Amino acid sequence: MPVIDLDDAEKKINPVFLKEIYNDTPTQIFFGGSSSGKSFFVLAQRTLLDIMTSDRNFLIVRKVAVTNRNSTFNQVKKGIYDLGFDDYFKINKSEMTITCTWNNNQILFAGLDDVEKLKSITPGKGVVTDIIIEEATEISRDDYKQLTKRLRGESTVIKRIIMMFNPIHQLHWIYKEFFLENWDPSKFEFQGESLYIQKTTYRDNNFLEIDDIERIESETDPYYRDVYNDGNWGIVGNTIFKHGEGAGHWHVEDLSEISKTFDRFHNGLDFGFSSDPAAFVRVHLDKRNKRLYILDELFATGLDNDQLSELLSPKIGTELITCDSAEPKSIKELRNNRINAFGAKKGKGSIENGYRFLLGLEIIIDEKCQNVINEFSIHKWKQDKSGVALRIPEDKNNHGIDSCRYSIESEIGILEAGMRVINY
């Protein structure tokens, strides 16, 4: 075993996290504001120390596999160099595995979009003892339950499942399952027998530069300050779509059975790359009952159009997909990859008409479409300087919603004349 200078390593870890290096609670949640350092600590610093000093193998997951390369995989690599552990790890970039060279413990990476690969993934030695879920608010409750089943097999250490996220809204299943009965908003920590929760914000990160802090503190939107600055569970006012049933409302159901009875589907795509995701939705429009069923989604950042095509193909086959027409080059590249893509017509008033139409529908979202659920929970009207809501949709948290508009664009003009539409 190599000599590890823990004192030197711990100097590079924010003090708020130091005691968590030795935390073996089976379920752990690290949440709060942005730039708190929680992801780097959990993904890189603690994981590397754990894998070197105990018999642990890690599986690090995100909703979509390809987003791991530019996020979690790079974070762990950065941690290796930052802690000076270069000599102790072998990095396989093509397979996206990181192996401790002196004990053969491993860090593996996977996405929840590749179920078969996830089922078969296994370390070279022993079993997966730890699952880390980055951006856990992207995954559904069923995704989480499936992951817990991966923690099986004989182990000399306590198995753990660890989640990290910003607390975007209180309607999320994570809030209901883990926070509703356990969390005291006036505190920053909860320790139960099998559950540990820690809240941190940028104020806990000693390694931020002054300009980083100034950028964070320049946020003026009350919701974004509350969630991303102060790390509180989001409560959104002026939301456009209300949670509930009936026209202008949305709710969540398991649509796996009823979707088998649908004979027509619409597909929509909003392009994105770095900070904004590429967002795909697959829907069914029930014209008679004025219902929109959102059946499937794909949200991912950092995808080129070849990768995007590869993910879309098994979802839609040769079906049409209506895309954001602002990117004709991307549409052409999708078509070159045999995706039957064409641009939305848009035009003057298309946004207003699209929202007016959606507000005349009852919107039912499949429980697996967590990113779409998140958007409908927090998408809101713009506000003026005095906080008064304007009847203009805010251009945030709307990528899946825009895809919904694109997907049924051809139906909007036909149906509006014959349906009662809620004014907004």
Question: Using 50, 70 and 90 to split pLDDT, how confident is the model at 159?
Answer: very high
pLDDT average, residue stretch 16-36 = 97
> Would you say residue 115 has pLDDT above 90?
no
Q: Yes or no: say if 295 and 255 are a contact pair by the CB < 8 Å rule.
A: yes
pLDDT average, residue stretch 366-393 = 90
pLDDT average, residue stretch 254-273 = 97
pLDDT average, residue stretch 183-196 = 97
CATH topology of domain 242-416: Nucleotidyltransferase; domain 5 (3.30.420)
Pairing of strands 242-243, 195-200: unpaired
CATH topology of domain 6-229: Rossmann fold (3.40.50)
Q: Could you tell me what percent of the chain has a pLDDT over 70? A: 95
Condensed to tens digits (0 to 9), the pLDDT of residues 304-341 reads 999 999 999 999 999 999 999 999 999 999 999 999 99
Confidence (pLDDT) at 6: 66
Q: What mean pLDDT is reported for the chain?
A: 92
pLDDT average, residue stretch 153-169 = 96
Confidence (pLDDT) at 365: 98
Token pair, residue 266, equals 């619409």
Confidence (pLDDT) at 384: 79
Nearest to 112 by CA among 134, 97, 89: 134
> Would you say residue 156 has pLDDT above 80?
yes
pLDDT average, residue stretch 369-385 = 93
Indicate the helix (H) or strand (E) that contains 191.
Answer: strand 189-191
> Would you say residue 276 has pLDDT above 50?
yes
Question: Using 50, 70 and 90 to split pLDDT, how confident is the model at 416?
Answer: very low
> Would you say residue 418 has pLDDT above 90?
no
209-214: long-range contacts at Cβ-Cβ below 8 A with a sequence spacing of 24 or more?
212/35
Give how far Cα 104 sits from Cα of 88, 89, 126, 161, 322, Å.
10, 9, 10, 21, 48
pLDDT average, residue stretch 85-92 = 95
Stretch(es) of the chain classified as CATH 3.30.420.280? 242-416
| Residue 146 DSSP SS3 | helix
| H helix and E strand count, the chain | 15, 19
Question: Using 50, 70 and 90 to split pLDDT, how confident is the model at 2?
Answer: low
Question: Using 50, 70 and 90 to split pLDDT, how confident is the model at 268?
Answer: very high
Stretch(es) of the chain classified as CATH 3.40.50.300? 6-229
Question: Using 50, 70 and 90 to split pLDDT, how confident is the model at 385?
Answer: confident
Question: Using 50, 70 and 90 to split pLDDT, how confident is the model at 119?
Answer: confident
pTM score of the predicted model: 0.92
What sections of 73-226 are H helices per DSSP?
74-82, 115-120, 141-148, 173-174, 210-217, 222-224
Q: Yes or no: say if 220 and 227 are a contact pair by the CB < 8 Å rule.
A: no
> Would you say residue 411 has pLDDT above 60?
yes
Confidence (pLDDT) at 275: 87
